[in-house]
């Protein structure tokens, strides 16, 4: 057993399972540019450098630039008193774990610490299964219209989990950009609901966001 598992070796292993057409970025996410956005695929886990790394789930995230730019405008217009954003904030995201490889295989990842090529090859097939599922999902949601349409097929709870937070704001933006006929009613009802609860900072943010959207 090797006693040292450097981050350089970890990066080598990630490059071995990097999907075609993707780069490994500085955050160690697989990244691919798409029209009006970017896809990120992240192999999640627990760092135990310099000794090992324990892989867990794979996360697929899609950032649509137009959505996040509008959200950022609203943050700036309200002095970011309620919400904040960053240059790599995603619009949609979904995790892949036991739902792809089964609970027993998922549990086995925690029992197989990666510390060299041999131990990496033990977990590699499971990682590749999850990455392939993440890629399939990302490819089905690589336009804003497709992502919106697919999310609309889900229950409200599942849909809100798929969107990045805050869901009401992101949902409002997407509805406007895809031309959903219920955009105005959704925006008005959402703002009224927060107003009835006395959450005035969120009311101010959402009203500011609606003003930006209505001016498009």
Residues of the chain with pLDDT under 50: 1
Q: What does the pLDDT read at residue 12?
A: 97
Residues 6+ apart with CB under 8 A from 120: 13, 16, 114
- In degrees, to the nearest 5, what angle opens at C-alpha 105 toward C-alphas 100 and 111? 140
Q: What does the pLDDT read at residue 195?
A: 97
> What predicted TM-score, i.e. pTM, was given to this entire model?
0.92
Q: What does the pLDDT read at residue 42?
A: 97
Contact, 201 vs 75, CB < 8 A?
no
């Amino acid at each position: 057993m090797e006693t040292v598992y450097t981050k350089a070796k970890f990066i080598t292993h990630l490059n071995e399972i990097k999907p075609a057409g993707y780069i490994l970025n500085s955050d160690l996410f697989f990244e691919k540019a798409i029209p009006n956005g970017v896809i990120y695929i992240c192999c999640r886990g627990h760092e135990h450098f310099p000794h090992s790394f324990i892989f867990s789930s794979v996360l697929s995230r899609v950032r649509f630039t137009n959505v996040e730019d509008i959200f950022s405008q609203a943050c700036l217009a309200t002095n970011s008193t309620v919400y904040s954003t960053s240059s790599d904030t995603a619009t949609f995201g979904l995790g892949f774990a036991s739902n792809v490889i089964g609970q027993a295989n998922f549990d086995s990842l925690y029992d197989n610490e990666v510390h060299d090529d041999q131990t990496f090859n033990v977990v590699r097939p499971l990682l590749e299964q999850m990455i392939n599922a993440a890629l399939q999902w990302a490819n089905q949601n690589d336009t804003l219209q497709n992502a919106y349409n697919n999310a609309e097929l889900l229950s409200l709870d599942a849909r809100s989990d798929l969107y990045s937070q805050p869901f009401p704001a992101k949902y409002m933006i997407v509805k406007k950009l895809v031309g959903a006929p219920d955009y105005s009613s959704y925006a008005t009802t959402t703002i009224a609901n927060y107003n009835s609860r006395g959450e005035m900072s969120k009311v101010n943010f959402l009203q500011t966001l609606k003003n930006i959207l209505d001016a498009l």
